[in-house]
Amino acid sequence: MTKFKVKDLAPKTTDIDIIVRIIAKGQPRMVKTKYGYSRVANLTVADETGATALTLWGKKISDVNFGDIIKIEDGYCGEWQGRPQLTLGRNGKMEIIEDPDFPDAQALLEIFKEQNV
């Protein structure tokens, strides 16, 4: 699989391997799906090339916090309101990693706040 950067994400892209830092985490909310009710939360993630939305479902929401660096494997990029939206999809995996060379969360937030993602 190809390793992606945020700037490379485009709707309908599959098999995404990417490392990003969480720069914002919205409050979880309950939504009704065809499978019943589930918790969902919208986050903003970034790397040095850009920022984008990440949607997490269920238990995954409480697994991560502001500032965490996460590695996503086999992710999917959809589209919401005309913008790319990263998700784990059915087969995606996510883990928190350590990388002292990755840009700081506050620095990324300052750089990309004007993008209004």
Q: Is residue 56 part of a domain?
A: yes
Residue 61 lies in a domain: yes
79 in a structural domain: yes
| 23 neighbors 105 (Cβ within 8 angstroms) | yes
Q: What's the structural domain count of the chain?
A: 1
C-alpha to C-alpha distance for 38 and 115, rounded to whole angstroms: 29
In a domain, 1, yes or no: no
pLDDT tens readout for residues 71-88: 999 999 999 888 899 999
Instruction: Report the percent of the chain where pLDDT is more than 90.
Output: 79
Residue 117 has pLDDT above 80, yes or no: no
Predicted confidence (pLDDT) at residue 115 exceeds the cutoff of 80 = no
Domain range for residue 93? 6-115
Between the alpha carbon of residue 49 and those of residues 18, 58, 88, 114, the distances in Å are: 12, 28, 20, 14
Q: Which of 55, 51, 32 is nearest to 43 (CA)?
A: 55
Q: Is residue 33 part of a domain?
A: yes
pLDDT in tens, 15-45: 999 999 999 999 999 999 898 999 999 999 9
Domain-located, residue 37: yes
Specify the CATH number for the domain of residue 10: 2.40.50.140
